[in-house]
Each structure stands twice: as C-alpha cells, then as structure tokens.
A and B are shown apart, each in its own frame.
Chain A
Amino acid sequence: MSLAAPRRAAWHYLLAATLKAFNANKTSWVGLGVFLAVAIAAVLAPFIAPYDPLEQDVLYKLRSPTLQHLLGTDSFGRDILSRLLYGARISLLIGFISTLVAMAAGSAIGMAAGWYGGRFDGFIVQLIDVLLAFPSLILGLIIVAMLGPSLTNIIAAIALTSLPAFARIARAPTIAVKQREFVEACRALGYSDARILGRHILPNIFPEILVMASLWLANAIRTEASLAFIGLGIKLPAATWGGMIREGFENILDSAWLALAPGFAILIVVFALNLLGDGLRDAIDPKLRGEG
C-alpha cells in the first residue's frame, strides 16, 4: 500500500462529507449560488461593467436610475452599477485574504495549543479570551487608524480581529481528536507532530473550520465596509462598497439610491454567506442547530 493512500482517503471523505452537508440543507446551495454569482460578477467586472468606474460625466450628476445608467449616477456623474461591480472586487478581495490569513494562523495556533496543552495552552486560551472580549470593530478601527488605511493594513486589522475565533474553533476538536486511537497509532509509528497535525488531525477538524470561515468571510466584508464608512477605507477615488455608502450618505436627502445600492449589495452577499455557513453548520453539527 502506498503511503499517500490514507491522505487521499481522508480528503476524499472530506469531500463526500461536504456534499452530504450541502444536500442536508438546501439553503446552503442557495447561499453558495448567490455568493458565487456575485464573485463571478466581480471577477468579470472589466468585461461586464457598462462604464469605467472612475469616468466622470458632469452633465449626468446624481441621476436616478435610467436605461443608460441602471442604478443611476453619483455626485461626479460616475455610473453606480460599474462602481458596484468594481467595488465588489475590493470588498471580496479584502474579505477573502483576511479570512484566509486568520483561518491559517488562527487554526495553527489553536491546533498547537490543543495538541501541546499545558502552560502554552493556558496562555493561548487567556490571550484568545482577551482578544475576543475587545469589540472587534473598535480594535480594527484603531489599528487601521494608527497604521494608515492601506490595503495591507486593512487586511491585517481584519485578520487580527477574526484570528482568535479560529484559534478557539480549532483548539477544542484537536483536544478531542488527539485522544482517538488513530492518533495513538500515528505516534507509535513515530510520525512527527507536524505530520500528525497536518495530515491526520486537520482533515478531521477541517469541516468546522470551513463553516467558521464562511461566517467570518461575511463578517470581514461587513467590517471592511464599516471601516470605509467611518472613513478608514482604501483611498478614494477607488470604488469600495463602504466608501460608496459614505459618499451616498452625504447626499442622502436628494439621492438616497447612492447609499442604498451598495448597502443592499453588502446585505445580499453577507446574507448569502450566512445562509451558506448556517446551513452547513446545521448539517455538520445538529446540536448547534440555529445557534448564534
């Protein structure tokens, strides 16, 4: 038997379990479908956007939706639909990268804490509690304010605020799985800690981490928009959803759709991701059904 066989089996099992989870709760498919549609629209923005998102047309300022401009124009005469499509690229990019960073670093820290236990574990648990206790928006806001609102800093701030949640979700199942016989067997075979954690424990706890990731991706997108709304977003004139709402809010009395269009865009994406994560969580752990 080749050594690669158990690894393939573990990931094959994972794929089957994911499909089963999706099918157990059909709303997950709806959430995934809506989210993928937005993601594809964002990727294809340069091809499907009707106008250049930065192109100003002073004769067409603050116009209501028409056939030429399906979602109207802003105070510089820029096409809102095009700005929404381009804005999706930045919002999703920040959401994806910050969640990936938080997922990788947080899971690694949580798994290490669960695996090694003892004082190291105690210290990490305390640290997680402290970070979780702090209002994440305020923490993100202060980090970005101090480091400056660049793409990297915004991603770092959002990743740091969601990292403790991943550490916590990875730690508990690691403790449970490390008592199982197959881990005992791996140790007896002389496998290194890294190998046991990466190849044998990770596939077992991965579904829970993935569900968490979909819920935190929603949160990351919302946090980025909140930071941009406060004025700590990527520098203008680049289109971001939160920045568009901020601009629209300044013109709320005469052109409400300026703020509403990006507002609903965020709502749709976040709702789709919550639907996806919620459905998957129901399927993976019936005990948690419907819990916040």
Chain B
Amino acid sequence: MTAYIVRRSGLALITLLAVLTLVFVLVRIVPGDPAQVILGDQASREAILAMRVRLGLDRPLLVQYFEFLGGALRGDWGVSMVSGRPVIEEVMAVLPWTLELTLLSLLIGTGVGVPLGVVAAVHRNRLPDYGARIASLLGLSFPPFVSAILLLLLFAIVFPLFPVISATQGSLSAWLQAITLPAINLGLITAAYITRVTRSAMLEVFSEDYVRTARAKGVPWRAVVWRHALRNALIPVITIVGLYLSILIGNSVLTEIVFNRPGLGKLIVGALNQRDYTMLQGMMVIYTFMVVLVNLSTDLAYAAVDPRVKLQ
C-alpha cells in the first residue's frame, strides 16, 4: 500500500505542476499588456512601466515561471490587485462557506442517489425504474442556476420559508435556514448523477456469479441487494463521485451567485468584474490544488476498498 501511495502522490505532483504550467501560460497568452488592462487606456507610460515591474512582468519569462511555481507551492499566490490583501487570505476567508455547501450537497446527493439507484436497478424496466431514470435525466438537464432560481422563487419568495440572501451566520437554526436551499439545489443535481451511476453499477453486479450463489444458498433477496451487491457496486460509485466533485465545484459558483452566498464563486465573479488578474490566477491555483487533492484521495479510497487496484 505504501508503494502505491508514493507512486500515486508522485503522479498527483506531476499533474499539479502540469496544471500550474497551464495556468501560467493561460494568463500570459492574453492579448495585450496586463498592466495596461489593469490601469485602463488613460494610464501614462510611466504608470504602466511601474505596474509591469510590480507584477514582475519585466523579468525573463523563465524566471517568472519558476517564481510562480515556487510561490504557488509555498502558498504565496500573490496579492489582490483590488484589495491589496494576499490572495490566500481572501480565499481562506470564504473557503469554509464553499466547503460546507459542497460537502452537505454531496451528503444529500449520496443519501438520495444511492437508495434511488438501488431501487431503480432492482425494479429494472418497471415503473420505479422509469421514474428514477426520467427524474435523474431531468436533474442532469437543469442548469444549476435555473433550478436555484426556481427554489428561491418557490421557497423564499412565494412561500417565505427560507431567507432570500443565505449569508447569515450565528445560531444553528439560522445556519440551517441559510444553507438549506443552496444545499438542496446542488444536492438534488448531485443525486441525479449518483442515481444513474449506482443503477448501472448495481445492474452489473447483479449479473455476477456470487450474487447467484448467495441467492442459491437461500440468502433473502433484500440482504443480497443491500449487503452483497451494494458493497461491491459502491466501488465504481466512489471513483465517479470523486470525478464529479470538479463539476460540483463549478456548479457551486452559480448556486452561490443566485443565493447571494459568500464563497469561492462570488470571489471569482468579483475578481472577473474588477479585472483582478492576480486574484484570478490565485483562484485557478486553488482550484487546481482542490481538484488534484480530491483526485488523489479518490484514488487512495478506491485502493483501500479494492485491493486489486494496487497490483496494477
């Protein structure tokens, strides 16, 4: 297992460096001079030159590259052009908001998606299956901001059960009230995805010999489904849920905007509107770290539940 962890971590590091390089290139292929873009068309030549020095753009590209890489790995992601505060500080201030929303949605998604997927697979090509399939396809088709607007309209405006702006903190009940609608929005879309994956994984497991053996031995069908089949079906589900996390992070941006909730999403949109380039670059770095970390933990979790993976 140790050898596998070392090998997989090495691969994660390579991926991290590759994406960081991509971010570096992406920021530099922008047409026009970033200093000019930041200062606007009216800026004097001196001001632009000073800004270029401040941004480090006057140095050779290779030096800039290694400084960027070194800084990114040390956690030094630059200083926001707008607020003047370090990017990492701004990110850390809102990260808990995004994390709690993402984790709660994942919890709702799994809690709804796995049982629904199992029920659909057990009743294959019958009414519950068709219902689950249509519902999950509909869930996957909803643009997250449209479903968010619909929830907001129904449960915060027509029936004012929840706050319109879900940025409140404080007591547990206030926190719950604020996070419920955003978490349900992301959670149901996640559930749609997990239902489909669980259903197909279960169908595959049902055709395995050990399921037939268990039934032949007289194990009750319910126990075969929930104890034997589901345990094995969950292995591919874990991997795919891990991959889905990057989509979930993207969807959380839109959800945060609709529910006016602090988080990485609002931070990135704010940076976009104010043309805060260092902030954008820093945000890409944090997203890269998150995605690589999630992928690494998914792979390690996968290896922990399925010993065959380590042997490959």
Residue positions of A touching B, CB distance < 8 A: 126-127, 129-130, 132-138, 141-143, 145-147, 218, 222, 225-226, 229-232, 245, 249, 252-253, 256, 259-260, 263-264, 266-267, 270-271, 274-275, 278, 288-292
* Known contacts A256-B153, A292-B197; is-contact A145 B253 (Cβ 8 Å): no
Evaluate contact between B26 and A146: CB separation under 8 angstroms.
yes
Q: List 7 A-B contacts (CB under 8 A).
A: A130-B18, A134-B291, A137-B253, A142-B26, A231-B273, A260-B149, A271-B138
A126 to B10, CA, bound (A): 13
A136 to B251, CA, bound (A): 10
Contact call B268/A141, Cβ cutoff below 8 A: yes
Asked whether B116 is an interface residue with its Cβ less than 8 Å from the other chain, the reply is no
Q: Given A146-B30, A271-B141, A275-B137, is A136 in contact with B250 using a C-beta cutoff of 8 Å? A: yes
- Contact with B150, one of A230, A260, A289, A291 (Cβ below 8 angstroms): A260
Q: Tell me whether B203 and A230 are in contact (CB under 8 A).
A: no
CB of B73 to closest CB in A, whole Å: 17
A197–B143 Cα distance when bound, in Å, is 37
The listed residue with most B CB atoms (<10 A of its CB), out of A133, A142, A245, A253, is: A133
- Docked pose: A164 CA to B18 CA in angstroms: 15
Q: Is B27 touching A245 in the complex (CB atoms < 8 A)?
A: no
A133 touches B291 (CB 8 A): yes
The one of B15, B142, B193, B247 in contact with A135, judged by C-beta atoms closer than 8 angstroms, is B247
Question: Which residue of B120, B142, B240 is within 8 Å of A267 (Cβ)?
Answer: B142
CA distance A260 to B142 in the complex (A): 12
A137 & B251 in contact (Cβ 8 Å cutoff): yes
B-chain residues with CB within 8 Å of residue A270 when the two chains form the complex? 141-143
| Contact of B295 with A by CB under 8 A | yes
Chain B residues contacting A267 (CB-CB under 8 Å) are 141-143, 146
Which residues in B have some Cβ–Cβ distance to A below 8 Å?
14-15, 18-19, 22, 26-27, 30-31, 120, 133, 137-138, 140-146, 149-150, 152-153, 157, 193, 196-197, 199-200, 203, 240, 243, 246-247, 249-251, 253-254, 257-258, 268-269, 272-273, 280, 283-284, 287-288, 291-292, 295
- The reply to whether B284 and A129 form a contact with Cβ atoms under 8 Å apart is no
Asked whether B18 lies within 8 Å of A126 as measured between CB atoms, the reply is yes
Given contacts A133-B292, A142-B280, A274-B140, contact A226 B153 (CB under 8 A): no
Nearest to A266 among chain B residues (CB) is: B143
Query: Are B287 and A226 closer than 8 Å at their CB atoms?
Result: no
Q: Is the CB of B284 within 8 A of A142?
A: yes
Q: Which residues of chain B are near A218, meaning CB under 8 Å?
A: 141
For residue A138, give the distance in angstroms from its CB to the closest CB of chain B.
6
Residues of B within 8 A of A263 (CB): 143, 146, 149-150
Bound Cα distance A3, B145 (Å):
54
A226-B145, A274-B137, A290-B196 known; A135+B291 contact, CB < 8 A: yes
Residues in A neighbouring B22, C-beta threshold 8 A? 130
Q: Is B197 within 8 A of A229, CB to CB?
A: no
Q: Which residues of B contact A229 (CB under 8 A)?
A: 143, 145, 254, 257
Whether A245 lies near B149 (C-beta < 8 A) is yes
Q: Closest CB-CB distance, A232 to chain B, in whole Å?
A: 7
> Measured between C-beta atoms, what is the minimum distance from B256 to chain A in Å?
11
Question: A-B pairs with the 8 shortest C-beta distances?
Answer: A137-B250, A263-B146, A135-B250, A292-B196, A271-B141, A291-B200, A270-B141, A135-B246
A259 CA to B153 CA, complexed, in Å = 10
Contacts of A141 in B (CB 8 A): 253, 268, 272
Known contacts A138-B287, A147-B31, A274-B140, then 5 further A-B pairs from the complex at CB < 8 Å, ordered by chain A residue: A126-B14, A129-B15, A267-B143, A271-B141, A290-B200
Is there an interface contact between A252 and B149, defined as CB atoms closer than 8 Å? yes
Least CB distance, A237 to chain B, in whole angstroms: 20
Residues in B whose Cβ lies below 8 Å from that of A259? 149
Closest partner residue, chain A, to B201 (CB atom): A291
Given the complex of chains A and B, what is the CA–CA distance between A1 and B275 in angstroms?
A: 64
Min CB–CB distance B42 → chain A (angstroms): 19
**Inter-chain contacts of A137 with B (CB < 8 A):** 250-251, 253-254
Known contacts A141-B268, A146-B26, A267-B143: A291-B284 contact under CB 8 Å: no
